[in-house]
Amino acid sequence: MNIGQAAKQSGLSAKMIRYYESIGLLQPAGRSDSGYRLYGAQDLHVLAFIKRSRDLGFSLEEVGKLLALWQDRDRASADVKALAQAHISELNRKIEELSSLRDTLTDLVQHCQGDHRPDCPILKGLETGCCGATA
């Protein structure tokens, strides 16, 4: 199948498929006589793996490691688990950071009257780095 068909079946854009190929996540596609990329069932399987990994928030570097582990039938599952656990730790760190950002912004919004006056605790908090009633 050509890249457009592979894109449609994988749920990825043709641009992303070319990018994944350029950085080595996907083996270079075979070419037709006219130079068009050609993809097979195994390529679609790899693209699905990459897409699911990216959907779970793994970085491109992590996806590369996961692909290598997936393709290595002699791997230890402990290596895969360690990578997944490290990713969970990073997700938890990001969740804490986002929760803190949400709480700060919620505090700023709660202290804003939202009326016609130019006084705005939200803008003041952004200016000073403070939040809430003291802003």
The predicted pLDDT at position 2 comes to 95
pLDDT above 80 for 135 = no
- DSSP letters, 26-65, are SPPPEE-TTS-EE--HHHHHHHHHHHHHHHTT--HHHHHH
Residue-wise pLDDT tens digits, 20-77: 999 999 999 999 999 999 999 999 999 999 999 999 999 999 999 999 999 999 999 9
Least confident piece of the model among 90-94, 102-106, 116-120: 116-120
